[in-house]
Amino acid sequence: MLEVKNLDVAYGHAKVLHDVSFDIEKGQMAFFIGRNGAGKTTLLKTIMGLLKAQNGSITYQRNEISGISPEELYLQGMRYVGQEKKVFSNLTVRENIEIAAYASREPLDQALEKVTAIYPKLKSFLEMRAGQLSGGQRQILLVGRALVGDPKLLLIDEPTQGLAAVVIEEVGKILSGLKDRVSAVIVEQNLAIVKQLADRVYILKEGKVARGITEKSEISDTQKLEAYL
Ligand X SMILES: Nc1ncnc2c1ncn2[C@@H]1O[C@H](COP(=O)(O)OP(=O)(O)O)[C@@H](O)[C@H]1O
Residues that bind ligand X (CB under 6 A): 11, 14, 16, 34, 36-42
* 42, interface contact from ligand X, Mg ion, none, CB < 5-8 Å by kind: ligand X
Closer Cβ to ligand X, 76 or 83, answer by number: 83
* 136, interface contact from ligand X, Mg ion, none, CB < 5-8 Å by kind: none
Taking the complex as a whole, the smallest distance from the CB of residue 148 to ligand X amounts, in Å, to: 26
**Minimal CA–CA distance to 197: which of 17, 22, 1, 24?**
24
Closer Cβ to ligand X, 70 or 177, answer by number: 70
Please tell me whether residue 116 binds Mg ion under the rule CB under 5 A.
no
Closer Cβ to ligand X, 131 or 162, answer by number: 162
Taking the C-alpha atoms of residue 32 and residue 40, their distance in angstroms, rounded to an integer, is 7
Closer Cβ to ligand X, 42 or 116, answer by number: 42
Q: How far is CA 196 from CA 176, 185, 216, 225, in A?
A: 8, 15, 10, 13
Note whether 141 and 171 are within 8 A (CB). no
By the 10 Å C-beta count (0-12 exposed, 13-18 middle, 19+ buried), 169 is classed as middle
Closer Cβ to Mg ion, 41 or 160, answer by number: 41
Note whether 16 and 207 are within 8 A (CB). yes
In what helix (H) or strand (E) does residue 61 lie, and over which residues does it extend?
Answer: none
The DSSP secondary-structure symbol of 48 reads T
Taking the C-alpha atoms of residue 126 and residue 204, their distance in angstroms, rounded to an integer, is 38
For Mg ion (CB under 5 A), the number of binding residues is 2
Closer Cβ to ligand X, 125 or 202, answer by number: 202
Q: How many CB atoms lie within 10 A of CB 89?
A: 12
Taking the complex as a whole, the smallest distance from the CB of residue 57 to Mg ion amounts, in Å, to: 23
* 36, interface contact from Mg ion, ligand X, none, CB < 5-8 Å by kind: ligand X
Site for Mg ion in 20-49 (CB under 5 A): 40-41
Taking the complex as a whole, the smallest distance from the CB of residue 98 to ligand X amounts, in Å, to: 30
Taking the complex as a whole, the smallest distance from the CB of residue 133 to Mg ion amounts, in Å, to: 22
Residues that bind Mg ion (CB under 5 A): 40-41
